[in-house]
């Protein structure tokens, strides 16, 4: 009996962290890549499927809360376009959805845009409010790469709708 209690206690102790590790909060990772030579802008967003599907109840209330429903997927595309906004040199950057991957673990969006080469070194402003209106603990990380340097902006909760900016960088030598 003592041995059974000891084994049960050991198993409970070993398995205790699993529920906490199963879901570590809500978040998205975005990468913005600005080519300073060509002015091409590429943006990718990665969102956990287990965050995206339940959010469909608010994003697409008349659709199924599943990425298998084409109506829900269209609503999600429209939602993402309105929640991630980027401006360079105080001019909005038009981003076009080029690819979308609906995976079992992750939803990935790939966008492309274009700015003039002189603008690539100007101030970059971003709003990354994806799912902040759905989940109070949402954290969106945006990594911005240009001229060989990566800078990170972090958007959290209700403040995710406020723009954040990176200063201009020095002109090429």
Instruction: Say how many C-beta atoms besides its own lie within 10 A of residue 111's C-beta.
Output: 23
Q: pLDDT tens digit string along 121-162?
A: 999 999 999 999 999 999 999 999 999 999 999 999 889 999
Please report the pLDDT score of residue 25 as a whole number.
Answer: 80
Sites in the chain below the pLDDT cut of 70: 1-24, 172-173
Can you give the pTM of this predicted structure?
0.84
163 and 78 in contact (C-beta within 8 Å)? no
Please report the pLDDT score of residue 1 as a whole number.
Answer: 57
Structural domain boundaries of the chain? 25-166
């Amino acid at each position: 009996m003592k041995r059974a209690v000891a084994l049960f206690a050991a198993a409970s102790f070993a398995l205790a962290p699993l529920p906490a590790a199963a879901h570590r909060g809500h978040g998205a990772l975005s990468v913005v890549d600005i080519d300073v030579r060509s002015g091409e802008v590429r943006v990718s967003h990665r969102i956990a499927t287990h965050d995206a599907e339940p959010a469909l109840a608010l994003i697409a209330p008349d659709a199924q809360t599943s990425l298998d429903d084409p109506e829900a997927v269209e609503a999600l595309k429209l939602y993402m376009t309105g929640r991630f906004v980027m401006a360079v040199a105080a001019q909005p950057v038009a981003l076009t959805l080029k690819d979308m991957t609906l995976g079992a673990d992750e939803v990935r969006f790939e966008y492309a845009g274009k700015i003039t080469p002189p603008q690539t070194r100007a101030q970059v402003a971003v709003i990354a409010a994806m799912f902040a209106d759905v989940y109070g603990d949402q954290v969106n990380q945006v990594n911005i790469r240009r001229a060989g340097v990566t800078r990170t902006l972090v958007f959290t909760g209700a403040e995710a709708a406020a723009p954040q900016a990176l200063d201009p960088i020095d002109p090429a030598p």
